[in-house]
């Protein structure tokens, strides 16, 4: 007679095989066999929460909150890094930035367009000269050079997405593992819990039948052992 259980999404799956004299429990590659004569036929029913899954849910929640805090606190681009790599100016498109020209009041707005850097020749004061123009950002219908940017709001879309995914997964795991799982616990002849069978998994509807049959065979094995001793 066989029975399979697991407590959460296939985690901890166990395969019980009951024979006349033994019960074997296979979990992954591990296989343990217990003689029925070493077990007590009386069992108790307990309800336990799946602690390791519950802990996993809280870990996911903490990770999600860490991503959220990072996205909210570190919301500024590294301006020095940005100025040293002007080719990254395109990444500021549709982002909120603040610019300041000399001692004028700072201007904040969303970048509507970006003119790329330009290296070429142009007529300046009637003379053909080599001209270098750094990227220009259009903010409130006015173009400002990249060097005037004093603050740029960082794009934290990926960070907030990770926070949402971790948070959603955490809530799913925590709520799913919040329920307690019922176990039928058998002790060995020394009074130590030896085997626990969960009312969970693909064979849940057969758990009562399996537990009752296990209890009956244990009692029979103990009776047979007592008869041989006499």
Q: Which tens digit of pLDDT belongs to each residue from 82-126?
A: 777 777 788 888 888 999 998 889 999 999 998 887 766 666 566
Please state, in angstroms and rounded to a whole number, the distance separating the CA atoms of residues 160 and 163.
5
Quote the pLDDT of residue 133.
Answer: 77
Measure the CA angle with vertex 118, ends 139 and 77; round to 5°: 45
Ranges of CATH 2.30.29.30 domains, the chain? 2-49+179-229
pLDDT tens digit sequence for 55-67 = 777 888 889 899 8
Please state, in angstroms and rounded to a whole number, the distance separating the CA atoms of residues 31 and 28.
8
| pTM for this prediction | 0.49
Domain at 2-49+179-229: CATH architecture: Roll (2.30)
CATH of domain 89-153: 2.30.30
From the list 155, 153, 137, the residue with the least C-alpha distance to 101 is 137
Please state, in angstroms and rounded to a whole number, the distance separating the CA atoms of residues 107 and 54.
49
Ranges of CATH 2.30.30 domains, the chain? 89-153
- Say whether 72 sits in a helix, a strand or coil: helix
pLDDT digit string (tens) for the chain, length 230 residues: 888 887 654 455 889 999 989 999 998 788 899 999 999 999 999 987 766 666 777 888 889 899 888 888 877 777 777 777 777 788 888 888 999 998 889 999 999 998 887 766 666 566 666 667 788 899 999 999 888 888 888 878 888 898 999 888 888 777 766 677 889 999 999 999 999 998 888 888 999 999 999 999 999 988 876 655 44
């Amino acid at each position: 007679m066989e029975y399979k259980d697991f407590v959460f999404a296939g985690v901890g799956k166990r395969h019980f095989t009951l024979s006349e004299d033994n019960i074997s429990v296979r979990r992954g590659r591990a296989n343990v066999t217990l003689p029925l004569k070493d077990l007590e036929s009386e069992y108790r029913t307990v309800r336990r929460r799946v602690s390791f899954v519950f802990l996993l849910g809280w870990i996911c929640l903490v990770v999600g909150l860490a991503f959220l805090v990072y996205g909210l606190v570190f919301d500024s681009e590294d301006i020095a890094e940005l100025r040293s790599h002007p080719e990254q100016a395109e990444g500021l498109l549709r982002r909120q930035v603040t610019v300041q020209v000399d001692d004028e009041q700072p201007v904040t707005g969303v970048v509507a367009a970006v003119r790329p850097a330009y290296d070429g020749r142009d007529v300046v004061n009637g003379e053909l000269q080599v001209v270098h123009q750094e990227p220009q950002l259009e903010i409130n219908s006015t173009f400002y050079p990249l060097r005037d940017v004093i603050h740029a709001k960082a794009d934290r879309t990926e960070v907030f997405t990770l926070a949402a995914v971790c948070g959603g997964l955490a809530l799913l795991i925590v709520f799913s593992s919040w329920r307690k799982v019922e176990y039928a616990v058998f002790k060995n002849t020394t009074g130590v819990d030896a085997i626990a069978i969960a009312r969970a998994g693909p064979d849940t509807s057969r758990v009562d039948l399996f537990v009752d049959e296990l209890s009956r065979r244990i009692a029979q094995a103990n009776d047979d052992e007592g008869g041989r001793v006499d």
